[in-house]
Structure 1
Amino acid sequence: MARPPKHGTDEDVSLDEAAPSKSSRKREMTALQKLGAEIIELSPALRGRLPLSDDMLAAIEEMGRIKAHEARRRHMQYVGKLMRSEDLAGIEAAFAAIEDEKQARDLAFHELEGLRDRLIEEGDQALDEVLARFPSIELSSLRQLIRNARRERAADKPPASARKLFKLLRDASGR
């Protein structure tokens, strides 16, 4: 006489294999809590760009009022639970767009810094490039700031004129 399988039928085994393990569910919940914490840390303007439900927005607002450590921990678990029903793909796309904008701003910032440094070091060669790129820039104040920045650099003084030169370039670029 054949004995029945110890763990049930073959169908039961395939269902057990398809279900995520308790560890993987915990990892997923921790990841959702971390995503929720990142959303909470965003400024209200950036947070407004995310596709969040009203319940999630209310939970985020409530988190700002909670001060006790254990209460914050429990509330973060609640935020993680709410994150399960959020549009994760939309949220990640919005985060990616925010990150792309930040990288573009950083790149433009570094480009303007390099241009400022070239103006101080090279002088008229870089000045022609700046005038070609930014025709509305005031030439007399630009030259004065370059001279002052060179003097400050030579005298080992704080770079006040270099900062003003950067600000002038930034304003001229419209960034």
Structure 2
Amino acid sequence: MNQWYDDEDEQDLPPSKSELKREMHALQELGGKIVKLSSGQYATIPLAGILKEAIDTARRIKSREGLRRQMQYIGKLLRETDIGPIEQAFIELENGRINAAKRFQALEQWRDELIAQGPNAIETVIAKHPQADRQHLRQLILQANREQKANKPPAAARKIFKYLRELDEG
């Protein structure tokens, strides 16, 4: 082993210039994702002071070069800020989107199974949601089957999906 170099010395070294650049770009990317959020999603991110003002300004900028400079400024501000709560809120927001998509797909699959199996499948809905209106669901399933056979638009299938979503959210 080289007498001038130890593993312990490596820990004392400051981060390399490349490492600092990677961190800076990652923070700029986080800032860019925050800027692109919808108003409702943006409201869930805990921002304060100059950083919030800078992001609000970036959301209004139309010029590409102006936005690029503003994003660099946001990256600088993020380096000076504790980004733990911001990252946590952003992760929760992303997980919420993923969970909503999974729920949506599960409801679509459930609707398709109800239509394929007919009125006999209503018991699975009643078992999961006892407050469900058995008669209403039966009528929607029969109507969806008639629409399928007549090659009509799937209005009843949409109504079934809407009803299942209401039951799931309620």
Q: TM-score range by the shorter chain?
A: 0.7 to 0.9
Q: Considering only CA atoms, is the larger Rg found in Structure 1 or Structure 2?
A: 1
Number of equivalent positions: 163
The reply on whether 1:45 has 2:40 as its aligned counterpart is yes
Contact kept? 1:59, 1:79, Cα under 8 Å? yes
In structure 2, stretches of 5+ residues that fail to align are none
Partner of 2:165: 170
1:168, CA displacement in angstroms?
A: 0.9
Q: TM-score of the superposition, structure 2-length normalised?
A: 0.84
Equivalent residue for 1:60, pick from 32, 48, 55: 55
Equivalent residue for 1:138, pick from 110, 113, 133: 133
Partner of 1:7: none
Q: TM-score of the superposition, structure 1-length normalised?
A: 0.82
Write the distance in 1 (CA, Å) between the matches of 2:161 and 2:27: 41
1:18, CA displacement in angstroms?
A: 1.3
In structure 1, stretches of 5+ residues that fail to align are 1-9
* 1:91-170 correspondence to structure 2 within 5 Å: 91-170=86-165
1:33, CA displacement in angstroms?
A: 0.6
Cα 1:126–1:87 shift into 2, 3 Å: farther
Partner of 1:6: none
Write the distance in 1 (CA, Å) between the matches of 2:15 and 2:88: 26
1:120, CA displacement in angstroms?
A: 0.4
Question: Deviating runs (4+, > 3 A) in structure 1?
Answer: none
Structure 1 stretch displaced more, 69-78 or 134-143: 134-143
